């Protein structure tokens, strides 16, 4: 065997891969499979490369296990031992389940990083598609100076990526389906389980305690759905239920939340009244007693539902904000604990004051200098920027008056010189040239190009533009060419550019030409490309 030094954790015989019988080995760092009778592995994956495993549904004839890699490839193993196929598969699955998370953490940081960047930045993703997937440049080249930039940027920036909250209705999304006979089927996804764990830490704790020692995962969830805990409208009676403890914990949590009281004095109903009526005073005739002894079963179950909804909403809310808040929470706690607790209401007033003082913005006098709102009559002129030449020369009003006088003077003395006029044909052609669509008015028509060209073509053009810019950046980054490596790279980049023009620009140009007569856009573009290169 090739790697005897490795610790082999599990060996499963009679596993088929690509219609070939063989043996599956699960080792400390990788999973491998070798065909029968040969002493080498044809399939070998490091655990770190595996993204997830999938198994075939229970009812299926073939018992299979599929490994999906980060690269998107997948390998399917078919457990072919007739009698023990299921057991084998379960064993492999369980082991993998324990192993994979360990390696997940170690998994290629860079890969994850790249993945994340591509997911978060659609422009980059498009660029990646344009250049790498279409094989203009290789992935390494693409990332070569991207990742350098990544490490430079502040890591904190993406560490605090926004947490995704939990849907308030995640329990409602688990729609039970009847399976024909007297059973219910619940469909759980990883998301829902995650939501349940985040919202109810007590359940997670139970899960960690019981799975997989006492119960299988499936049993655990079956019990969960059967429990009184899930159906909180039923009154908690049995103690054999493993979730009854969770219920108690929740109760305790709710109580402690209530005891803690509220921070915002404006919503504290207890301190709202300046003076509460003592017991025995006031008209309290219609008020039903709240003690539990007097409640009927139905009433107390109703009460339980209400309590449950309050608790559920509070937990969902807390789960959504828990992660982001913990550091600040701690900070505020320490600040309040090291100061005398009596002094805490010295800190409190600012919040309270802000709430008490309702400000009307419209009654405030504006102190800052009046800003003039930007009011654009011709937004395209604003977008195109100033025209460089004439704007430099300003004419004073005296100049204008002078010139007006001068023109008036001229006009007054104007005498048509009829012998030197244009011939009528020349005049007509001049007029046609100046009217819309004419030769001299082409420039005017260009302005409307964004209306003429459909948006997908515009989008494509934009992508091409960005991609070309990226390539050029690579190209220019090689200068000055002072090492052989750079020289080589320049040559490679040049060929890349040429290939880009060949594979991307040409087809686009042709397509545009086919569809639209006005080709000046793409001409401009290729010209611009050439200008930049040389």
Partner 1 sequence: RDELPRLLDDGHGVLEMPSGTGKTISLLSLIVAYQRAFPLEVTKLIYCSRTVPEIEKVVEELRKLMEFYSKQTRESNNFLALALSSRRNLCIHPEVSSLRFGKEVDGKCHSLTASYIRAQHHSNPSFPVCQFYEEFDAVGRQVPLPAGIYNLDDLKDFGRRKGWCPYYLILHANIVVYSYHYLLDPKIADLVSKELAKKSVVVFDEAHNIDNVCIDSMSVNITRRTLDHCQNNVDTLHNTIHKIKETDAAKLKEEYRRLVEGLKEANVARETDVYLSNPVLPDEILQEAVPGTIRTAEHFVGFLRRFLEYLKSRLRVQHVIQESAPQFLKDIYDKVCIDRKPLRFCAERLQSLLRTLEITDIADFSAATLISNFATLVSTYSQGFTIIIEPFEDRTPTIANPVLHFSCMDPSIAIKPVFQRFQSVIITSGTLSPLDIYPRILDFHPVTMASFTMTLARTCLCPLIVGRGNDQVALSSKFETREDFAVIRNYGNLLMEMSAIVPDGIVAFFTSYVYMENIVASWYEQGILENIQRNKLIFIETQDAAETSMALEKYQEACENGRGAILLSVARGKVSEGIDFVHHFGRAVIMFGVPYVYTQSRILKARLEYLRDQFQIRENDFLTFDAMRHAAQCVGRAIRGKTDYGLMIFADKRYARADKRGKLPRWIQEHITDGSLNLTVDEAVQLSKHFLRQMAQPFRQEDQLGLSLLTLEQLESEEMLQKIAQVAHQT
Q: Which positions lie near partner 1, rule CB under 8 A?
A: 165, 167-169, 171-172, 233, 254, 257-259, 261-286, 288-290, 294, 298-299, 301-303, 305-307, 309-310, 313-314, 316-317, 320-321, 342, 345, 349, 352-353, 356-358, 360-363
Output the smallest distance, CB 191 to partner 1, in A.
15
**Buried residues in 262-284 as b, exposed as e (16+ CB within 10 A):** eeebeeeeeeeeeeeeeeeeeee
- Compare residues 172 and 418 and give the one whose CB is closer to partner 1: 172
- Identify which of residues 87 and 355 has a Cβ nearer to partner 1 in the complex: 355
Helix, coil or strand: residue 82: coil
State the pairing for strand pair 30-35/20-27.
antiparallel
Work out how close the CB of 160 gets to partner 1 at its nearest, in angstroms, rounded to a whole number.
16
Pairwise CA distance, residues 533 & 520, whole Å? 20
Q: What is the DSSP string of 380-440?
A: HHHHH---TTGGG----HHHHHHHHHHHHHHHHT----GGGPPPHHHHHHHHHHHSTTSGG
* Closer residue to partner 1 (CB): 111 or 266: 266
Residues 6+ apart with CB under 8 A from 173: 167, 192
CB closer to partner 1 out of 165 and 454: 165
Q: What's the closest the beta carbon of residue 221 comes to partner 1, in angstroms?
A: 19
Q: Which of 208, 355, 236, 346 is nearest to 292 (CA)?
A: 236
Q: Minimum CB separation from partner 1 for residue 317, in Å?
A: 5
Contact by Cβ (8 Å): 69, 51: yes
Q: Rounding to the nearest 10 degrees, give the CA dihedral for residues 466, 467, 469, 472.
A: 180
Q: Which is nearer to partner 1, 159 or 342 (CB)?
A: 342
We find the least distance from the C-beta atom of residue 265 to partner 1, in angstroms, to be 7
User: Minimal distance in Å, beta carbon 281 to partner 1?
Assistant: 5
CB of 422 to partner 1, least distance (A): 56
The structure tokens 């015989």 sit at: 13
Helix (H) or strand (E) holding 345: helix 344-347
Please state, in angstroms and rounded to a whole number, the distance separating the CA atoms of residues 288 and 407: 98
Cβ proximity to partner 1: between 361 and 456 the closer is: 361
Q: Report yes or no: 44 and 31 within 8 Å, Cβ to Cβ.
A: yes
| Residue closer to partner 1 (CB basis): 101 or 349 | 349
Tell me phi and psi for residue 310, to 5 degrees.
-60, -45
Angle between helices 484-500 and 455-476 (to 10 degrees): 160
Specify the residue, 156 or 286, whose C-beta has the smaller distance to partner 1.
286
Q: State the maximum Cα–Cα separation within the chain, in Å, rounded to a whole number.
A: 119
Q: How far is the CB of 313 from partner 1 (least distance, A)?
A: 4
CA distance 282 to 280: 7
CB 99 to partner 1: min, Å: 38
User: CB-wise, 263 or 514, nearer to partner 1?
Assistant: 263
Min dist. Cβ of residue 332 to partner 1 (A)? 15
Q: Which is nearer to partner 1, 39 or 362 (CB)?
A: 362
- What three-state secondary structure class fits 279? coil
């Amino acid at each position: 065997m090739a790697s005897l030094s490795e610790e082999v954790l599990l060996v499963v015989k009679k596993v088929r891969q690509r219609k070939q019988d063989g043996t599956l080995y699960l080792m400390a760092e990788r999973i491998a499979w070798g065909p029968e009778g040969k002493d080498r592995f044809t399939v070998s994956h490091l655990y770190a490369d595996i993204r997830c495993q999938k198994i075939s549904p229970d009812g299926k004839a073939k018992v299979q296990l599929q490994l999906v890699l980060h690269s998107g490839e997948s390998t399917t193993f078919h457990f072919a031992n007739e009698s023990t196929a299921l057991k084998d598969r379960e064993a492999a699955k369980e082991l993998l389940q324990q192993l994979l998370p360990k390696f997940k953490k170690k998994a290629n940081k860079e890969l994850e990083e790249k993945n994340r960047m591509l997911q978060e930045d659609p422009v980059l993703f498009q660029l990646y598609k344009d250049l790498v997937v279409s094989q203009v440049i290789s992935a390494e080249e693409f990332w070569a100076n991207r990742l350098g930039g990544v490490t430079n940027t502040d890591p904190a920036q993406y560490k605090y990526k926004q947490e995704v909250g939990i849907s308030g209705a995640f329990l409602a999304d688990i729609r039970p389906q009847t399976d024909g006979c007297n059973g219910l089927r619940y469909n759980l996804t990883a998301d829902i389980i995650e939501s349940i764990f985040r919202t109810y830490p007590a359940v997670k704790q139970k899960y960690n305690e019981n799975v997989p020692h006492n119960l299988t995962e499936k049993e655990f969830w079956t019990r969960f759905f059967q429990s009184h805990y899930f159906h909180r409208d039923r009154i908690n009676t049995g103690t054999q239920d493993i979730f009854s403890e969770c219920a108690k914990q929740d109760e305790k949590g709710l109580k402690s939340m209530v005891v803690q009281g509220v921070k915002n004095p404006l919503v504290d109903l207890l301190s709202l009244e300046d003076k509460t009526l003592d017991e025995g005073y006031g008209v309290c005739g219609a008020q039903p007693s709240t003690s539990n002894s007097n409640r009927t079963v139905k009433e107390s179950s109703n009460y339980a539902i209400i309590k449950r909804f309050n608790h559920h909403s509070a937990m969902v809310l807390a789960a959504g904000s828990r992660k982001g808040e913990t550091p600040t929470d701690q900070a505020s706690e320490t600040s309040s604990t090291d100061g005398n607790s009596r002094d805490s209401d010295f800190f409190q007033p600012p919040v309270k004051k802000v709430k008490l003082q309702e400000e009307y913005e419209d009654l405030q006098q504006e102190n800052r200098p009046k800003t003039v709102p930007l009011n654009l009559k011709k937004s395209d002129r604003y977008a195109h920027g100033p025209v460089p030449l004439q704007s430099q020369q300003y004419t004073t009003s005296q100049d204008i008056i002078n010139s007006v006088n001068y023109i008036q003077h001229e006009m007054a003395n104007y005498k048509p010189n009829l012998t030197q006029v244009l011939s009528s044909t020349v005049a007509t052609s001049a007029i046609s040239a100046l009217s819309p669509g004419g030769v001299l008015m082409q420039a005017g028509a260009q302005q409307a190009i964004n209306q003429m060209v459909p948006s997908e073509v515009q989008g494509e053009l934009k992508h091409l533009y960005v991609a070309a810019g990226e390539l050029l950046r690579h190209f220019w980054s090689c200068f000055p060419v002072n090492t052989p490596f750079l020289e080589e790279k320049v040559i490679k980049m040049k060929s890349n550019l040429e290939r880009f023009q060949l594979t991307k620009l040409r087809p686009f140009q042709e397509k545009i030409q086919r569809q639209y007569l006005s080709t000046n856009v793409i001409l401009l573009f290729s010209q611009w490309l050439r200008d930049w290169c040389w």
